[in-house]
């Protein structure tokens, strides 16, 4: 059997905060502002609210089988072969998203930090620490997340306080100008990025937690805190940069940090603020990669998942370099195919599992007693 | 050329790190899965370093979900 380690519910809270913030803090404000203009913050609030419902579904599902991961849950509910097929799709999704996040980190460093370094170099460096973290196991990841969450929120509070004098309320007016359709469209992006993709956390949630009951609450609270952070960032982007500029920038959060100017003394501190995004991006990437490596090991019934980390890391590096030929391709994927893919794995599959569980409940309980 | 030599060197280092413990513990299945994945990774890496175009998995996904997208947006 694979080695089991346990983390406590506070550590899981930290992981779920960092996972749900992840890329959202960097990219989502622009996606929200594209459709719903100056009312992007309303879309963020709606998106967080609906996202919490989805997380509630995940926590309920996790507690049916407190000792099984998502992959094993699939197998118990759908039988051996169909379950494995669904799990394989899930692993493909997490591996693809690892590559996409690796691309994002590389593109961010490339456009804003080291512009003459080839992207392969930054991606390889990032992938080395990615593989290192997954080899060391979930306990190490959780503990380092506990340290970095402090740094993260310190920097976040500094960002919010320093940027506050620049707020111009004209940017947000007129309020409620948006029609329902584009509001729904843009909040769907946020729901998918920060809540539906949290299905990957089901690889950790019931199985690796010493008290699943209290961790249920931390999953929920983690998503709520992440939602608040995203709402604040979106609101600040709209208030300071304006809807037009927010929609047009690739990384509006970074553009926000560029605007910091306290008495002509503290300015151009955006490189320090870049740490914020690298931290959250990194932990989201690690959790995706952990889910894919561990999921693959469980699908194939391996005794140890560690041998898979290096080869998969290599595949992820190559994937991250070929995955987006250009920015338009990325935008198109994020607004169409990516949404459908995530919704299929993250919402349709769990709903199917709920249906199957409702039908097979009695039989499953009988099996559990007899075995 | 130099890039592919580098990739092979990295693969050799990975083999050196991973294989002895697996042989020691007699994890046969793990060794097979590891070798297949590593061969796949090295193949992809070398193909990329020679400038060959690698099929993008996103194109496959777009092909699968295109009918759905057309049905929704029509």
pLDDT at position A125 over 80: yes
Minimal Cβ distance to B34: which of A96, A307, A329: A307
Domain assignment present for residue A71? The answer is yes
Of all residues in chain A, the percent with pLDDT exceeding 70 is 98
pLDDT of residue A3: 59
Residue B61: which residues within 8 A CB-CB, separation 6 or more? A337, A341
Looking at CA atoms only, how far is residue B59 from chain A in angstroms? 9
Would you list the domain boundaries of chain B? 2-73
* Most B CBs within 10 Å, among A294, A307, A312, A323, to test the B interface: A307
Give the three-state DSSP class for B51.
coil
Domain assignment present for residue A95? The answer is yes
CB contact under 8 A, B69 and A341: no
* Most A CBs within 10 Å, among B6, B13, B15, B30, to test the A interface: B30
Count of domains forming chain A: 1
Domain assignment present for residue A2? The answer is no
pLDDT band, very low/low/confident/very high, at A291 (cuts 50, 70, 90): very high
pLDDT of residue A87: 92
Model pLDDT for residues A38-61, shown as the tens digit of each residue: 888 888 999 999 999 999 999 888
Model pLDDT for residues A198-256, shown as the tens digit of each residue: 888 888 887 888 887 888 888 889 999 999 999 998 888 889 888 888 888 888 888 88
Least confident of A56-60, A172-176, A274-278, A353-357: A172-176
B17's torsion region: left (phi>0), alpha (psi -120 to 50) or beta? alpha
CB contact under 8 A, B48 and A336: no
Print the domain residue range for A135: 9-370
Higher pLDDT, A269 or A84: A84
Minimal Cβ distance to B45: which of A312, A318, A340: A318
Minimal Cβ distance to B54: which of A92, A322, A341: A322
Looking at CA atoms only, how far is residue B1 from chain A in angstroms? 16
Region A328-332: mean pLDDT is: 87
Phi, psi of A260 (to 5 degrees): -60, 125
CATH number where A148 lies: 1.20.1740.10
Model pLDDT for residues B28-71, shown as the tens digit of each residue: 888 999 999 999 999 999 999 888 888 888 889 889 888 888 88
**B18 touching A (Cβ < 8 Å):** yes
pLDDT at position A23 over 90: no
**B65 touching A (Cβ < 8 Å):** yes
Q: What is the pTM of this model?
A: 0.93
Residue where the block lists tokens 């349709």 = A348
């Amino acid at each position: 059997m694979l080695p089991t380690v346990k983390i406590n519910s506070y550590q899981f809270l930290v992981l779920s905060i960092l996972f749900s913030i992840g890329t959202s803090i960097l990219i989502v404000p622009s996606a929200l502002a594209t459709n719903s203009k100056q009312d992007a913050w309303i879309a963020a609030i709606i998106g967080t609210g609906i996202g919490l419902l989805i997380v509630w579904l995940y926590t309920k599902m996790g507690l049916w089988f407190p000792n099984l991961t998502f992959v094993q849950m699939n197998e118990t509910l759908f039988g051996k072969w169909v379950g494995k097929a669904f799990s394989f799709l899930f692993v493909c999704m997490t591996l693809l998203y690892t590559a996409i996040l690796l691309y994002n980190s590389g593109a961010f460093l490339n456009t804003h930090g080291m512009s003459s370094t080839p992207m392969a170099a930054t991606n390889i460096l990032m992938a080395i620490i990615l593989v290192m973290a997954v080899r060391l196991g979930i306990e190490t990841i959780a503990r380092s997340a506990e340290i970095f969450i402090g740094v993260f929120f310190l920097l976040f509070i500094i960002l919010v306080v320093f940027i506050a004098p620049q707020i111009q309320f004209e940017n947000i007016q007129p309020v409620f100008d948006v029609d329902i359709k584009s509001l729904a469209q843009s909040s769907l992006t946020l729901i998918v990025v920060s809540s539906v993709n949290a299905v990957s956390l089901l690889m950790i949630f019931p199985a690796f937690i010493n008290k699943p009951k209290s961790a249920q609450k931390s999953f929920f609270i983690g998503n709520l805190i992440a939602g608040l952070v995203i709402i604040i960032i979106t609101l600040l982007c709209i208030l300071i940069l304006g809807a037009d500029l927010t929609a047009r920038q690739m990384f509006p959060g970074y553009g926000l940090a560029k605007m910091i100017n306290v008495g002509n003394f503290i300015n151009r501190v955006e490189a320090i603020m870049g740490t914020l995004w690298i931290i959250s991006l990194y932990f989201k990437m690690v959790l995706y990669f952990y889910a894919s490596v561990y999921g693959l090991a469980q699908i194939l019934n391996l005794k140890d998942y560690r041998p898979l980390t290096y080869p998969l890391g290599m595949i992820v590096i190559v994937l991250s370099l070929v995955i987006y030929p250009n920015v338009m391709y990325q935008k198109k994927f994020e607004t169409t195919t990516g949404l459908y893919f995530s919704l299929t794995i993250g919402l349709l599959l769990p709903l199917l599992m709920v249906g199957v569980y409702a039908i097979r409940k009695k039989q499953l309980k009988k099996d559990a007693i007899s075995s | 050329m130099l890039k592919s030599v580098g990739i092979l060197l990295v693969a050799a280092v990975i083999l050196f790190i991973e294989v002895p413990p697996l042989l020691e513990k007699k994890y046969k299945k793990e060794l097979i899965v590891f070798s297949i994945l590593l061969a796949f990774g090295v193949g992809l890496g070398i193909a990329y370093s020679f400038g060959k175009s690698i099929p993008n998995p996103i194109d496959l996904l777009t092909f699968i979900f295109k009918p759905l997208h057309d049905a929704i947006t029509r």
